[in-house]
Amino acid sequence: MIGLNAYRIVVEVDVDKKAVIHDVDIVGLGDTVVKESKKRVKSALKNSGFPFPRGRITINLAPSDIKKEGSYLDLPMAVGILKASEVIQRDISNYLFFGELGLDGSVRKIRGVLPALLRLSEESEKPAVILPASNEAEASIIQNIEAYTVRSLSELVAFLNGSAQKYPIVHKEPEFKHSIVEDFSDIRGQEFAKRAAEVAAAGAHNLLLKGSPGCGKTMLARRIPGILPKMSLEEAIETTKIYSVASLLDGKGLVAERPFRSPHHTASTTAIIGGGTDARPGEISLAHNGVLFLDELPEFRRDVLEALRQPLEDGQVTISRARLTVTYPARFMLVAAQNPCPCGWYGDKSHECTCSWNDIKRYNRKISGPIEDRIDIFVDMPRLEFSEYSDRRKGESSTTIRGRVEKARQKQYFRLKPLGKYFNSQLNHREIEELVVLDSTGVKLLESAVEKLKLTGRSVDRILKVSLTIADLEGSERILPRHIAEAIQYRKRDVNF
């Protein structure tokens, strides 16, 4: 795998039986994990009761200009050696093998099976595929390929020599369940914030929740994936590919629910953006088609916030390392939360804030610039009054809210299709000018907001985009003054920070 792209590797095994020194050489740009295969393959063969050929064994991994990483080549190497020592007798040129080996000869799960098989399914002349049994669920998503699972090296040999039962992978129609465990109806009060979350979900707008400790910011954020539209098969496959490469599928077939990722604020840039020695996807790609929740936003490292800028703009991330550059999708809805100040109580009616004005300023300034510019909706969440908290009436369910969000998304889909976009939040200045038409009352309303709140041109664009989403939620073809009035409320009010 390079990023999400699969390449076919040919493993050639040559045994020089006359050589005096018995050794195994692996050539063809393998990383340290590939080099260690030598030991795994040797033990696996011996412990499965197969002979290990004497002499000098040279294993060549072609093409030699692609760097090979990981343990998935264990199985093909073992098969090559077994073929060279004639334990396997049949022609195996029409097979593809994937799998890591345990020292006992067991065949273990590898990462990246889904993207590899997807790529294979597009080829006209397809070889049959042999896979670890633990990768079965993800392989069963693919149609039109001939694939079999094996649990051990001896099972594989018996299979190839025609003396064992075969375990073909049967294609399964992926199951789409949208299990809402944490429901919107659990949230008491906070009507303004709930409505803002609905608008944000409808237009895929990024959202910042600000409020004192315990007011329900985390609670609300966790419930946002449940009000987003169900994933399409295409989206689910895109997201599953990323989880497959990150080896986070945990035996699941399809990631059919929108992901919710909430990395801790101490997480490294690599963990969040992606990278490391094998250029793995980071949290922003694991949140692809779902929600990235950054709790305690001002506590995140400055370089992490800076690095988020590009992916937030492009919906993808490019990771460059010495030898290769990979691109992963990273289109997510950003939901961020923060306290109003370091102690958490600034602006609260009943708690005194102990922070100095400078502390408050510094705290809030940390997010200005890179991230703030990309947030469309700002919400202040007050502390819950006891009467609200003790009110046992249930609010609207996530399913009801999702119904409205899906309708609004549909309107956007048809409007934005010609532009190659999906959500109102993706509109640029020129497109906003073209698509968002206000009547004279609307224009006046906006004008006075610009003056009173000292809004920048950028803020005005955001208000217009959000107004469009609010109109879409209502099913209105025109943007009415009340839609603009609501959108103005979602702008940041404490502009002086």
Residues that bind ligand ATP (CB under 6 A): 187-190, 211, 213-219, 339, 384
Residue 219 beta carbon to ligand ATP: minimum distance, rounded to whole angstroms: 3
Residue 296 beta carbon to ligand ATP: minimum distance, rounded to whole angstroms: 7
Residue 218 beta carbon to Mg ion: minimum distance, rounded to whole angstroms: 3
Among 43, 185, 218, 476, binds Mg ion (CB under 5 A): 218
107 binds, among Mg ion, ligand ATP, none (CB under 5 to 8 A by kind): none
115 binds, among ligand ATP, Mg ion, none (CB under 5 to 8 A by kind): none
Residue nearest to ligand ATP (CB): 216
Residue 194 beta carbon to Mg ion: minimum distance, rounded to whole angstroms: 16
What is the Cα–Cα distance from 396 to 185, expressed in whole angstroms?
Answer: 5
190 binds, among Mg ion, ligand ATP, none (CB under 5 to 8 A by kind): ligand ATP
Q: Are 83 and 52 in contact (CB under 8 A)?
A: no
Told to check if 399 binds Mg ion by CB under 5 A, we report no
Query: By C-beta, is 79 or 337 nearer to Mg ion?
Result: 337
Sorted by sequence, the CB contacts under 8 Å of residue 414 that are 6+ apart come out as none
189 binds, among Mg ion, ligand ATP, none (CB under 5 to 8 A by kind): ligand ATP
Q: What is the 3-state secondary structure (H, E, C) of 473-495?
A: HHCCCCECHHHHHHHHHCCCCCC
Residue 213 beta carbon to Mg ion: minimum distance, rounded to whole angstroms: 7
Residue 272 beta carbon to ligand ATP: minimum distance, rounded to whole angstroms: 19
Residue 223 beta carbon to ligand ATP: minimum distance, rounded to whole angstroms: 10
Query: By C-beta, is 152 or 339 nearer to ligand ATP?
Result: 339
Q: Which two tokens stand for residue 406?
A: 């899906």
Query: By C-beta, is 147 or 335 nearer to ligand ATP?
Result: 335
Residue 297 beta carbon to Mg ion: minimum distance, rounded to whole angstroms: 11
Query: By C-beta, is 47 or 218 nearer to Mg ion?
Result: 218
Query: By C-beta, is 218 or 310 nearer to Mg ion?
Result: 218
Query: By C-beta, is 97 or 346 nearer to ligand ATP?
Result: 346
Residue nearest to Mg ion (CB): 218
Query: By C-beta, is 211 or 342 nearer to ligand ATP?
Result: 211
Told to check if 476 binds Mg ion by CB under 5 A, we report no
Query: By C-beta, is 231 or 384 nearer to ligand ATP?
Result: 384
Residues lying near Mg ion in the complex (CB under 5 A): 218
